[in-house]
Structures are given as structure tokens and as C-alpha cells.
Structure 1
Amino acid sequence: MFNDTHVGTVHINCRNLDNSIYFYTHWLGFTAYKKDKQATIVAVAEKPLIILHEIDEDAPESNILESIGIKLSSIEQLSQLFNFLVAKRYPIEDALDYGDFIGFNVIDPEGNRLIFYSDFDTPKSTEINGKPFDYQMLTSLSHVPLSKIDDNTEIGFIHLNIPYEERYINFFVDGLGFDTRDSSSKLIWLHTGQYHHHVGLHLQSTQDNYQMLDISTEYSGLKYFEIRFIDKEDFQSFKQFMEVSHYQLIQEDQSTLIQLIPQLKCKVLYKK
């Protein structure tokens, strides 16, 4: 079992960069600052969470990204953000209860689904203090107004739509060292350590009309996501896996950017 390999910064292509910056700063309270002319870093406590890249406003939309999980430091902070968005009348999709964590969905201006969530110390199911979990329960968990997003906010997981082929699954399991948990023929949960999951793979077959994208076209949505190793030996094991695999390496320096399938790229790096 690999040692706490996890998802790092997620890179998103935006057809309207200004709208996305406004969403992440005005609605969610994150800090945004320029990376370069075409990219803006969305951060908390100077820690990059998402990097927004500007592309052509007529670019087609990718279906690779299912959702990004943004982990808040506490149930109270989750409730404060929920209440803030409700008060501002920002549309919220639904309340979520997975037993290990609770949260809610919002859609950003580019159509990307964000899941804001917070973990329980111990798994619970469908009830909090003996009452069913729903919007009203989430509202009542904190009566303190949101002041700012906590510095410990981080990317907790990413959900991807990928073809149901063993070679793609093997990249995450054999290459990146994730273990599987509570998986099915349509969904694989991947994790390291005792965490509930870091990656969710929504497996698509050709019968599902999976959208195979053109590698030469730039799409809105997911540009690439990072996987971070914190153990040097685990990173070396990954590099050995890549030596005998047939994935396309786009660049290699202190990190490696890999083309898995058209429009699905993964940047792998070692960071203490």
C-alpha cells in the first residue's frame, strides 16, 4: 500500500475566464492571482487548489471530469458555506450523505461540478443526532456567519469518466498504487491509507456512448490533474512502472505529465 498518495492541484480550461474568477472569489471566497496571461491560480492560504486556464470561447466541452471534491476542515465550515450560498441564492444541486462524509454540489460557470464536503471522525449513515440528513440539517449545523474559507481547505478527491478498459484502471492501481474500495462494474473508488477515496472512476462502455475526444482539440473542462507522492520510494516505483508501460509522456522533469486517453492528462510529482 502506497503512503498517502493524493490528488493535488486540478487544472481547468475556461471559455470565460473572468466569469470563473468571479465565481471562485465572490461566491466561494477563495483568493485568485495571475499565474500568467492565460492562467489564474485559485488558492487558499497561498496553496493552489485549482488553476484556471483561458481557452477559446467557442471550444467544445469535455465529458471527462465528473466532479471535484473540495474538502473543508469541519462540518461547521461546510454549513457556513452552504448557508452563505443559500442566502445569496446561488443554485445548489443536492445535499450528500456518504456515511464517511457529508456535503453538497454546486456547478461552476463552466459547467463543472464541485462537491464541497467535510469528513466525519467516524463513519455515520443517513442520520445526524438521530435525524435524517437533508438541506435543513445542513443549514442547522452552524449559526455562525461565514468569515473566510479555512486555510486547511484542500482538494480531497476527483471523479473521472473513463472508458472501461483494464489498462486505464491499471494505471491508477498498479502505477499510482491506489487500493480499491466498495467498487462495482460502473464505479471504482480508489484510495491510499484509511481515507474513504481520492479518485472515483466512473466506468463508461461504448454502449454508454462514451465521448472519445480528439487529442488535437482543446476542450473546456479538465485540462489535467495532479497526483502527489509524499514518499520517495513510492515515486520511484511509479517511475519503474512507467518504464515498461506504453503511456505517452508529454514532459518529464521533477514531475511527469502523462497522456492517458485523449483529453485526460495526469501530472505526477513527488513532494515531501
Structure 2
Amino acid sequence: MAEFALAVAGLQTVALRVKNRNLMIQFYRDIIGFSLKREENELAIFGNTKAKSELLWLEESPYADDHAGEIKKLQRLCLVIPSEMEMADLAQRLLEADYPIKDALIDEEATGILVEDPEGNALEIYFGSKKVHQNPTSLQLDALARKATGEFPQLSDSVYFDKIHLNTSRLKEQQDFLENVIGLKVQDETNGILALNGGSFHVGLSAGKGGTLDLSTDGVLGLDFLQFRVSQSDITALAAHLEFLQVEFFIDQKRQIITIYDPTGIEWWFISEDKKRH
């Protein structure tokens, strides 16, 4: 069989397993600015202002272990803000809430803010170039917030996740999964960190041990699954490729959804663009 390549359309949804849904809703809706689209049983579903956007799912799991302070499968999520004005409104919300800032940096081409949600999931928010930045300096958040106009009380329809950085105890296997199983090109980044590029989505990998890295996502808080929209032809090709490799996966009867677990235990969902959205 010829070398397989998957043309990823981009990350549609990140799902997090959480303990206190109300507290997490307050953070992601009222401070970060996600739109709460709907709630379904244990789920809270968020997006930007686009009607069918579902960027973030929070699934309440009150009996899951939190492993507070320990290493998690998710190192950080990166959220792209399209304009300085929108970034300023977000900075103002952070200041008004007196929310703890882990880091805030600026250089000639980018502005970035790093926070952790109430359950310790790291969120990097940035505006500007994706290039590697040289000699960034500390960002004065109040100076940025003074540019706020209030025009963006919610995240605009151009906001999206462009990168997820994972910790894994099985670095080589995880790289092999990304490159050879689901067919995404892997590139070396720096300092032993691996990254892949496909469409507008980027993944970083870092080696680690302990914490939740070797535990099932069903029983611990944090990252649960990633969901992508791809073409129907990619669904068909991916299914054939996985069958050829004799890799365990699930495909629905209409052959429009594929789910597969990576070596770190994270579930990847690939959903056909032909499948109707909610």
C-alpha cells in the first residue's frame, strides 16, 4: 500500500473531563469569552460566535481523580485571537476578574498570555505571528487592557485552537501513531520536542513520566478526546489504511465517523464533512 497521508481540515473540538462544571463554565464563558452553545446532561458545549462552532466540550465527571499538581496528558492548548482589539477585551476581562496570569509576553510580532483554568489545564492565548519569537519581553496586561473597546464580549468567529501540546511517556510510539497510523507529517521542533503539521493544526509532544500519562482518560480529569472534520474521501481512505495496518478502531454503520486511541490513551475522532451537524 502507498504511503498514507491524511489532509486534516483542522481541529473542531477539544473535550475536557472536569469535576466542577459550573466553575469551569464561569471561567470559559465569562472570562475567556466562549459562547455557551448548549448543555446536554453532563456536557457543556462552547464555541465562538459562529453558529455551529463547538470548539470546547466540558464533560462533568465528579468522581474522576484530579491528580492535582501532577503531570497531565495535556500540557497546553493554544487559542488564536485574530486582532489586537479582541485581545485587549480579553485582557480586560482577565484583569476585572483578578484572574492569575502564569505568563504574559510580547515582541514585535506577537502577544501571548498563559493562564490555567480552575482545574489546572493550561491555556495559551495569543495574537500575531506563529513564528518562533526572539527576545520577547514581559507584557504589561493593564496597558493592553486600556485599548479595550468592549466590542468583543465573546470570542469572534475567527477564533480557533491552532495547537495542542501533549505530554507522553511513549514518545516514539506517539510519533509513529501521528505519522504512520493517522498519516500526519511529523517534524522536529527543538529540544527533543516533536511536532506535526496538518492543515491549520499543530501538535507538540514532550516526553514525561508519572501523573496521568499512563492512566485511562475515563477515570481522570483533563483531556478526553480531539475531534476533527475531514472529507468523506479521507474517512474512506483512513478506514482502509487502518484495516491494512490491523489497528483497532471504530467506524459507524454509515462510515462517516472513525474513532481511534493513540498510545497515550487519547481518543481521536474523525468525522466526515458530509455528516450533518447538530
Name the TM-score, length of structure 1 as normaliser: 0.81
- Quote the residue 1:126 is aligned against: 134
Asked if 1:64 corresponds to 2:64, the answer is no
Distance 2:156 2:58 in 1: 21
- Quote the residue 1:256 is aligned against: 258
Deviation at residue 115 of structure 1 after TM alignment: 1.1
- Quote the residue 1:80 is aligned against: 89
Deviation at residue 246 of structure 1 after TM alignment: 4.9
Contact (CA 8 Å) 1:97, 1:126: kept in 2 or not?
no
- Quote the residue 1:244 is aligned against: 244
CA distance 1:102–1:232, shift in 2 (3 Å): farther
Deviation at residue 85 of structure 1 after TM alignment: 0.9
- What is the aligned counterpart of 2:183 among 177, 184, 209? 177
Contact (CA 8 Å) 2:79, 2:159: kept in 1 or not?
yes
Deviation at residue 249 of structure 1 after TM alignment: 2.3
Deviation at residue 201 of structure 1 after TM alignment: 1.4
Secondary structure of 1:19's aligned partner: helix
Contact (CA 8 Å) 2:111, 2:128: kept in 1 or not?
yes
Specify which structure has the higher proportion of strand.
Answer: 1
Deviations 1:209-254 (A, max 9, x none): 465434385211111111332x444443322321133544255352
- Quote the residue 2:225 is aligned against: 224
Distance 1:101 1:247 in 2: 41
Distance 1:155 1:112 in 2: 14
Deviations 1:122-181 (A, max 9, x none): 847336xxxx54212894497133332212111222111123343321221123332234
- What is the aligned counterpart of 1:49 among 55, 62, 81? 55
Greater CA drift, 47-56 or 232-241: 232-241
Distance 1:2 1:186 in 2: 24
CA distance 1:124–1:209, shift in 2 (3 Å): closer
CA distance 1:90–1:258, shift in 2 (3 Å): same
Distance 1:160 1:18 in 2: 26
CA distance 1:22–1:243, shift in 2 (3 Å): same
Distance 1:95 1:264 in 2: 29
Amino acid at match of 1:261: P
Deviation at residue 32 of structure 1 after TM alignment: 1.3
CA distance 1:235–1:43, shift in 2 (3 Å): same
Residue segments in structure 1 that go unaligned for 5+ positions in a row = none
Provide the aligned length of Structure 1 versus Structure 2: 261
Q: How does 1:1-272 map to 2 (within 5 A)?
A: 2-45=6-49, 46=51, 47-57=53-63, 59-61=65-67, 63-96=72-105, 101-120=110-129, 123=131, 125-126=133-134, 132-136=136-140, 139-140=143-144, 143-147=147-151, 148=153, 149-184=155-190, 186-192=192-198, 198-204=202-208, 208-209=209-210, 211-215=212-216, 217-229=218-230, 231-250=231-250, 252=252, 253-261=255-263, 263-271=265-273
Name the TM-score, length of structure 2 as normaliser: 0.79
CA distance 1:44–1:137, shift in 2 (3 Å): closer
Distance 1:210 1:15 in 2: 17
State the identity as a percent. Answer: 21
